[in-house]
């Protein structure tokens, strides 16, 4: 093989790789990226039962209920609207009433959000960024809460 042919074959191989990877990437991004919603967004957005989304907001006061075994129910609110969530498992250490939380999962046919993961903010100083931005956008955010 001449140098030119060798170089061409390397470039062709590289392009084939990139092509395959790009195809996979686009396919995966279309399928596997999950969108973030606040409860009030759900009135306008169409979210199918079974479609994977992330739902964020504050844990509504007085709604945490322990079910059988490790099942927990609570409501996520943005103060305009709230959504019932169920979760089976251990809640994060920082999960508390009126604290920011992000849940990930799907809506069941009964309109209850079945979460398979619940993330609470990492420490005292901040909320999950999406929740903070969302609350700010909806005018619920008080700067005092961020400190």
Partner 1 sequence: MVETGHFALVLAFALSLVQTFVPLFGARLNNQRLMAVGGPVAVTGFALTALSFAALASAYASSDFSVASVWENSHSLQPLIYKITGTWGNHEGSMLLWVLILTFFGALVAAFGSNLPATLRANVLAVQGAIGAAFFLFILATSNPFIRLNPAPIEGRDLNPILQDLGLAIHPPFLYLGYVGFSICFSFSVAALIEGRIDASWARWVRPWTLVAWMFLTGGIAMGSYWAYYELGWGGFWFWDPVENASFMPWLAGTALLHSAIVMEKRSALKIWTLLLAILTFSLSLLGTFLVRSGVLTSVHAFATDPTRGVFILCILTLFIGGSLALFALRASRLTAGGLFHPISREGALVLNNLFLTTATATVLVGTLYPLAVEAFSADKISVGAPFFNLTFGPLMVPLLLVVPFGPLLAWKRGDVFAVAQRLMVAFAAALLATLVTALFIDGASVFAALGVGLAVWLILGALTDLAVKSGVGNVAARIMVKRLLGLPRSVFGTAFAHLGLGLTTLGIVGTLCFGTEKILSMHAGETVELSGHTLRFVGLYPAQGPNYAEDRGRFELIGVSGSPVGEISSAKRFYPVRQMTTTESGIRTIGFSQLYISLGDEGKDGSVVVRLWWKPLVTLIWGGGLMMMAGAAMSLMDRRLRVGAPSRRRKQASAVTSAGLP
Residue 82 contacts by C-beta under 8 Å, 6 or more apart in sequence?
39, 57, 60, 63, 75, 76
Q: 57 near 75, Cβ under 8 Å?
A: no
Q: Which stretch binds partner 1 (CB under 8 A): 75-83, 105-113, 118-126?
A: 118-126
Per-residue x/- track, 69-88, partner 1 (CB under 8 A): xx-----------------x
Residue 80 phi, psi dihedral angles, 5° rounding: -90, -40
Residue 62 within binding range of partner 1, rule CB under 8 A:
no
User: Taking the CB of residue 50, how many other CB atoms lie within 10 A of it?
Assistant: 9
Q: 53 near 102, Cβ under 8 Å?
A: no
Residue numbers 36-55 binding partner 1 by CB under 8 A: 36, 54
87 is in an annotated binding site: no
Residue 24 within binding range of partner 1, rule CB under 8 A:
yes
Q: Which residues bind partner 1 (CB under 8 A)?
A: 1, 3, 6, 9-10, 13-14, 17-18, 20-21, 24-25, 27-29, 31-36, 54, 66, 69-70, 88-91, 93-94, 104, 122-126, 128-130, 133-134
């Amino acid at each position: 093989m001449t140098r030119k042919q060798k170089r061409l074959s390397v470039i062709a191989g590289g392009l084939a790789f990139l092509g395959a990877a790009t195809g996979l990437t686009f396919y995966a991004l279309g399928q596997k990226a999950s969108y973030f919603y606040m409860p009030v967004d759900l009135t306008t957005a169409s979210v199918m039962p079974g479609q994977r989304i992330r739902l964020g907001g504050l844990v509504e006061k007085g709604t945490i209920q322990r079910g059988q075994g490790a099942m927990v129910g609570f409501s996520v609110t943005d103060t305009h609207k709230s959504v019932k969530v169920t979760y089976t498992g251990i809640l994060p250490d920082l999960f508390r009433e009126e604290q920011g939380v992000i849940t990930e999962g799907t809506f069941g046919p009964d309109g209850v959000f079945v979460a398979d993961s619940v993330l609470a903010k990492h420490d005292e100083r901040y909320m999950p960024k999406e929740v903070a931005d969302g609350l700010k956008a909806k005018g619920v955010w008080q700067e005092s809460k961020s400190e």
